[in-house]
């Protein structure tokens, strides 16, 4: 049986299929031979991690949906039935609940890696856009999913977020009524949210495919940010080098993920969401999940409702313009002394915004939130264009092989 294990695989059936539908050639190309820069560090693990979390979310979600009832009278109880009476239902739900937080954690690291190493620069602008589309879809999906258990925060979060659309002049109120399917967040709202929460992940899968097509067209960026096509020695086949490296990263990630699922499953949650939704009683504090807090802080920093909504959406949409706001030819922050500082300040700014989003919007947190919001936009609109014009980057290496050998000891 195993005598031919070293010979190139020749399997009649595989060849028959491949001649007609070249999926095996395709997989060989994109998952085995796929030339990858040899110097990718562990920050490059987070793309494949995000893909794996997406699969985990879809699988756990499908099984949860088999036991969930999308009706205002039964939603909360059906979730508790999953927790108490469905075999390993608690495991499914905690995997899904914490999976949402893990997904955002992984994707935010993935995005900041892109920011640091200039992965949005030519020729990867569309790759960057597709990633942002995935982020927006993820936020929508997460918000819709958070409503489904129909706890207090589900209900009031849905009320607050859908009401944002009422800020649109003239058509705002009709739009909100249309979104709700009635005159308040009620059963029709819950039903459509469930339907959309089931739909959007598959849309995400589609955009992820496009994201991968765009990625594989020009290949991964790398920590030096230089093109690796010139020197064939700079690239290595994806398998086995990055399959095994990604698997190691996955193992570390799963330990952390399992730690939350099994030992602190409600760490990221709000206790008040274990109180069934009550339209007559507003919770003392309405806060979104942690991954939306920076945007929530921006929303609440602006005194005018419409302007706040515009600022919040603007905070995401401005990222689409990043490839042009930052016009520096050098990708990696390693060779950009000033941009490197800006990057860390910007990261700190986002964390500060996240903290502000969790505070009551008055006094010091409001003031800090406003300053952090102002800086967020200042970073993109003023600082980045200026820095990319006037900064003197350090000299770039010729190829990956040169600095890799030189800086080995450093």
Q: Does 410 bind another protein (CB under 8 A)?
A: no
Rg (CA), the chain: 24
Q: Identify residues 362-381 at the interface with another protein (CB under 8 A).
A: 362-364, 366-367, 370
Residues facing 151 on adjacent strands: 276
Q: Does 236 bind another protein (CB under 8 A)?
A: yes
Q: Exposed/middle/buried for 240, CB within 10 Å: 0-12, 13-18, 19+?
A: exposed
Which residue among 21, 247, 348, 351 contacts another protein (CB under 8 A)? 247
Which residue among 210, 272, 286, 318 contacts another protein (CB under 8 A)? 272
- Three-state DSSP class for 130? helix
Q: How far is the CB of 285 from another protein (least distance, A)?
A: 9
Q: How many residues in total does the chain contain?
A: 410
Strands 35-37 and 235-237: antiparallel
Stretch that binds another protein, among 2-10, 119-127, 359-367, 372-380 (CB under 8 A): 359-367
- Which letter does DSSP use for residue 229 in this model? S
Which residue among 132, 205, 318, 404 contacts another protein (CB under 8 A)? 404
- In 3D space, the residue among 261, 135, 139, 113 whose CA is nearest the CA of residue 196 turns out to be 139
Q: Does 8 bind another protein (CB under 8 A)?
A: no
The two three-digit tokens of residue 135, written as one number: 């982020």
Residues facing 313 on adjacent strands: none
Q: Identify residues 296-355 at the interface with another protein (CB under 8 A).
A: none
Q: Exposed/middle/buried for 261, CB within 10 Å: 0-12, 13-18, 19+?
A: buried
- What is the DSSP secondary-structure string of 69-102? --STTTHHHHHHHHHHTSTTHHHHHHHHHHHHHH
Q: Does 275 bind another protein (CB under 8 A)?
A: yes
The two three-digit tokens of residue 63, written as one number: 């099984």
Q: How far is the CB of 195 from another protein (least distance, A)?
A: 27
Catalytic residue among 48, 60, 119, 220: 220
In the residue annotation, 96 being an active-site residue is answered as no
Nearer to another protein, 11 or 281 (CB): 281
Q: Does 279 bind another protein (CB under 8 A)?
A: no
Q: Which residues bind another protein (CB under 8 A)?
A: 38, 77, 80, 83-84, 90-91, 94, 236, 240-241, 244-245, 247-248, 251-252, 254-255, 258-259, 261-263, 265-266, 271-272, 274-275, 284, 362-364, 366-367, 370, 404-405
Catalytic residue annotation = 216, 220, 245-246, 289
């Amino acid at each position: 049986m195993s005598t031919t294990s070293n010979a190139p695989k020749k399997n009649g059936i595989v060849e028959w299929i491949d001649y007609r539908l070249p999926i095996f050639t395709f997989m060989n190309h994109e998952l085995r031979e796929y030339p990858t820069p040899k110097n990718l560090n562990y920050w490059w693990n987070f793309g494949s991690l995000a893909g794996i979390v997406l699969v985990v979310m879809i699988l756990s979600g499908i099984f949860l949906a088999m036991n969930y009832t999308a009706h205002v009278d039964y939603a909360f109880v059906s979730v508790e039935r999953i927790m108490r009476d469905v075999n390993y239902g608690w495991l499914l739900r905690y995997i899904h609940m914490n999976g949402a937080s893990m997904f955002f954690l992984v994707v935010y690291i993935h995005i900041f890696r892109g920011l640091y190493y200039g992965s949005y620069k030519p020729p990867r602008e569309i790759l960057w856009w597709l990633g942002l589309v995935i982020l927006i879809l993820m936020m929508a999906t997460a918000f819709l999913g958070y409503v489904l258990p129909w706890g207090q925060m589900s209900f009031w979060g849905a009320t607050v977020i859908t009401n944002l659309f009422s800020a649109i002049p003239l058509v705002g109120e009709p739009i909100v009524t249309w979104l709700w399917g009635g005159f308040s967040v009620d059963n029709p709202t819950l039903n459509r949210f469930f339907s959309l929460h089931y739909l959007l992940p598959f849309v995400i899968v589609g955009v992820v495919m496009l994201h991968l097509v765009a990625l594989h067209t020009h290949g991964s960026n790398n920590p030096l940010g230089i093109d690796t096509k010139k020197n064939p020695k700079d690239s290595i086949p994806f398998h086995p080098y990055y399959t095994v490296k990604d698997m190691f990263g996955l193992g570390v990630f799963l330990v952390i993920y399992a730690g939350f699922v099994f030992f602190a499953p409600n760490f990221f949650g709000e206790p008040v969401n274990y109180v069934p939704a009550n339209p007559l009683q507003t919770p003392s504090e309405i806060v979104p999940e942690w991954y939306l807090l920076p945007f929530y802080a921006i929303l609440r920093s602006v005194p005018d409702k419409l302007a706040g909504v515009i600022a919040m959406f603007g905070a995401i949409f401005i990222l689409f313009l990043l490839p042009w706001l930052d016009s520096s030819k050098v990708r990696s922050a390693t060779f950009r002394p000033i941009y490197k500082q800006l990057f860390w300040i910007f990261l700190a700014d986002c964390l500060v915004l996240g903290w502000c989003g969790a505070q009551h919007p008055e006094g010091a947190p409001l003031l800090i939130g406003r300053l952090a919001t102002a800086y967020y936009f200042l970073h993109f609109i003023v600082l980045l264009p200026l820095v990319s014009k006037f900064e003197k980057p350090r000299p770039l290496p010729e190829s990956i092989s040169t600095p890799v050998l030189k800086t080995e000891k450093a």
